[in-house]
Every structure is written in C-alpha cells, then in structure tokens.
Chain A
C-alpha cells in the first residue's frame, strides 16, 4: 500500500516535469507601437492556455520583419505594411509572410495645453511640418516660433503620418526628431510652442489634441473612418498560421482580444 502511494507520488512528480517540455513556444518581435497589444494579449492568452509559452520583444517593425524572414521569430509585429524588398527577401529565404490586421490606430496631432489652437486643416498641418508656416501668429495664435516635433524618419508612425498628412512632402530639417511616442509626448507637454503627433494610445491629459479637417481624433471617429489620420496595425505570420500561432492570432482577433486592444488605448476592429 505504502509502495503504491509512493509510485503515485513519483508519477505525479514525473508528470510535472514532463508537462513544461510539451509547452509550445512562440516568439513575437517587432514594432514598439504594437508592443503593448502583443504583451497584453500574450499575457491573457497564456493565462488561459498554460501549455503556451509566448515571448514578446520590441525592436521596431523592420527588426520584427527581418526576424520573421530569418526564422528567429514566429510572428512579426508591424505598424506598417511589409515592403516589396522585404517580400522578395522572404521569398529568397523560403518564407511567406501573411498579414493579419490586429487593430486600428489613429495618429493624433497634438499641441501644448496652453496653446490657443484647436483646429487645423490637413493642408495647414502639412505646411507646419514642412516649415512653410513657422509662426503661430500665421494661424491666428499667439506670436511665437512653432517648434515642430516629429518621430524619427524610420518609425512606422512617421511613415503613416508622412503618407496620410505629408503626402510625400518632407518634414522640415529643423524638426525635433524623437525616437519614441513617449518622448514626443514629454516634449509637447513641457514646450508651450510645440506641435507634434502621437498614436492614440499615447494621448494623455498633458496633451491637447487638435481637430483635423473638423474631426477630433477619438476611437469613434477612427472606427467610422471620419478621422483622416488612421492606419492599421499588423502581425505577420510565416505562411498560414498553424498550431499555437493560429490559436494566438485567432485570440487576438476575437472579441475578447479586441477588448484587450481597447484597454491599451488602441481602436479595436469590431
């Protein structure tokens, strides 16, 4: 009898050792904009599926896509669509990136709280960022040099803003180029004459959003398509997702996953 109990105990212990080995591991890497979504959804997904082991890294959209091409990650997060050169590289490596839209993001044009400016047309915004309009008095505000704050030229947010607002025109060279949304927010909050743009997820009481073409950036206007500066956020899998990768992506796209997307300040798809 004693021996039987002992066997049972050893069996349970043995099982405990074996189970983690069966855990399926997937790696996510890429865009810092998508990072909060990836982290939150992975966390909840792992709670519900103890067998899954998901590790999430940042690095940037290009880093993520490069990792997918090299086979060092299973899902690449990207705040922009994959480029032709990257598709060719992937094909040469025998990889086949498949896009999954996981959320929408609005890019809000923001000014310092003390600014009297509350609305701009897309054209005015463009002229501010190209340097054509350089003083707030030209827009009816208090006279003072406009401090233009932008994201770095290689960030996905910059690319989206460039496409949607700048229409291919160049941001003036004197703009303060910042490496992250937080830094842009920080500078705008402490600089009375500054203007910049951040993802909706980074809006806070310290910043004042500006109406663009008469539409205030918000979840509702992004989802309805009224707000003109919105973009999709992506996760790329290699080929058609399978196994735990498929389960995870399905979870992100599910109602519950999209609710998590909303809690992170982004706009869910449904």
Chain B
C-alpha cells in the first residue's frame, strides 16, 4: 500500500517537474537576454539604440543604431501578412465551407506539410529561383529584396494561419448556421455575417501567430532579404531584419564586447515583440471561447 503511494507520488513529481521545466528554461533565457543585453543600453542609451539610423558595429567608433533592422523586420512581417492572410484564411474557408470530406482529408495534411519543410530549403528556393525571377520581372539591380523575403515568409506562415483558422471555423456550432438559414439567409450571408464573425477571434489568433512566426524566422531572411542595413523605402529594396543580423554576426562578435551585448539587446527586443504578439493572440482567443459559450 505504502509502496503504491510512493510510486504515485513519484510519478506526480516527475510530471510536475517536466511540466515546469519549460517555464524554467523560459525564465533562464529571459534572464540571460536581460543580463547580456542591458549593458549596451547603459553604454549608449536605450533611445539612441532603438532609433539610431546607423548600424556599424565593428568600426571604431562603432554605431549601434538598430532602427533599420527593426524596420526591416516590420516590413517583411507586414509583407508576409499580406501573403499569408489571403492564402491562409482563403484556404481555411475553402476547406471548411466548400471542400467535401475527401478533399479536406487530402488538402489539410498537404497544407500542413508546408510547415514541415526546413527553412533553409525555403531560403535556398528563394535565393536560386525567386531572386532571379524578381530581378527580371521588375528589372531590378538585385532580386534580394523585402518583397522576396515577404513572399517566402508568407508562404511559410500560411499553414499556421490556415490550420488555426480552419479549427476556429469548425468550432462554430452547427446551430448558428441552421438558425441563419432558418431566417432565410443564403450561404454567402451566413458565411460573412454569422460564421466568420463567430470564428473571427480564432482567425485573428491564427493571423497573429502566423505573423510572429514570420518575424522570428531567421534562415530564410538571412538568405533572401539582401542584408543591407538601410531604412527601406519600397518593397523592392534590400533589408536586414533583426534575426538576420543576429545570426550573421554572433559567430564573429568578440565575447563580452559592445557588439556582443548589442546583439543580445536586439534579441531582447525581438523577444519582447513576439511576446506581445503571443499575449495578444492569447487574449483574442480567450475572448473567442467566451463568445461561443465554450469554457473560458
């Protein structure tokens, strides 16, 4: 009897520890980011770091202004949303509303398969296929542009958006549709006035998570965005997103130097941005559950 209780307790503790270990790692990462990132704020000032327009980390004296990098990340993220929202939400609507059972059984895994392609493969595709194509299409000096990165990131974020939006649509209770049809609404009216508003928060969650996937993506932007630390004027210019700067420079930044701290500070800011994205997604999806009368 006692043995059994000990065994039960042991299992309980093992799983408790496993569940909390990810929290432990998260806290550890945040502590390291703050510890290694904040020295640069003390050295050159937070506002000067965020709004500085020049990124010359290895010159003497160095310039640590990351505004071009932040804007680079925002541009490709906005661009990617313009691609992944219509693609992701559109395919979710098709899957849920129009596709038959067999089509859905086939299409959904195929779309989700897009998510399992390694990002370096996307990057290589962008570099070798999309870059020369854009170069010729727009007669550009180089095809490595914000547009190129946006297209590829959009494609990469599509399965996230589609999958979550499709789930949200399928959670809309059948009674909603029946009620709508009962008062004489047609299929289009039911879709736009009942189903989409009911699933709206779920769809938005998908979009936000898709965007946070795009802003955090590294390998692809490193390969196709061009890597020029300029404030972008149009989508047809090269950009250097924050993730690309960190990945490209970390290996060669002398440990403990200002450059090293600056890269950690970029990571910290990137973390805060995705953190805010995820909190918004969480709030929105909670509201969605309450709205549908599911358990909050």
A-side residues, CB < 8 A to B, are: 59-63, 65-66, 83, 85-86, 89, 144-147, 152-156, 158-159, 168, 170, 173-179, 183, 186-187, 190-191, 193-194
Across the interface, B228 reaches (CB within 8 A) one of A175, A193, A194, namely A175
Interface contact B227-A62, CB-CB below 8 Å: no
Interface contact A176-B141, CB-CB below 8 Å: no
Interface contact A174-B228, CB-CB below 8 Å: yes
B179-223 CB contact bits vs A (8 Å, 1 = yes)?
A: 000000000000000000000000000000000000000000011
For chain B, what secondary structure do more than half of its interface residues adopt (helix, strand, loop), or is it mixed? Answer: loop
Interface contact B259-A173, CB-CB below 8 Å: no
Interface contact A177-B131, CB-CB below 8 Å: no
B53 nearest CB neighbor, chain A only: A173
B46-74 CB contact bits vs A (8 Å, 1 = yes)?
A: 00000000111111100000001000000
Q: Does B114 contact A (CB under 8 A)?
A: no
Question: Contacts A89-B256, A174-B238, A177-B227 given: A154-B141 contact, CB under 8 Å?
Answer: no
- B56 — which chain A residues lie within 8 A by C-beta? 153, 170
Of all A-B residue pairs in the complex, the 7 with the closest CB atoms, nearest first, are: A60-B251, A154-B252, A177-B227, A60-B252, A179-B248, A145-B141, A153-B58
A158 nearest CB neighbor, chain B only: B58
Across the interface, A61 reaches (CB within 8 A) one of B59, B143, B223, B252, namely B252
Per the CB 8 Å criterion, the residue count for chain B at the interface is 38
B-side residues, CB < 8 A to A, are: 54-60, 68, 127-128, 131-132, 135, 141-144, 222-223, 226-230, 237-238, 240, 247-249, 251-257, 259
Interface contact A63-B252, CB-CB below 8 Å: yes
Interface contact A154-B259, CB-CB below 8 Å: yes
Interface contact A179-B222, CB-CB below 8 Å: yes
| 8 A-B contacts (beta carbon < 8 Å) | A146-B141, A147-B141, A153-B56, A159-B58, A177-B229, A179-B227, A186-B127, A186-B128
Interface contact A176-B252, CB-CB below 8 Å: no
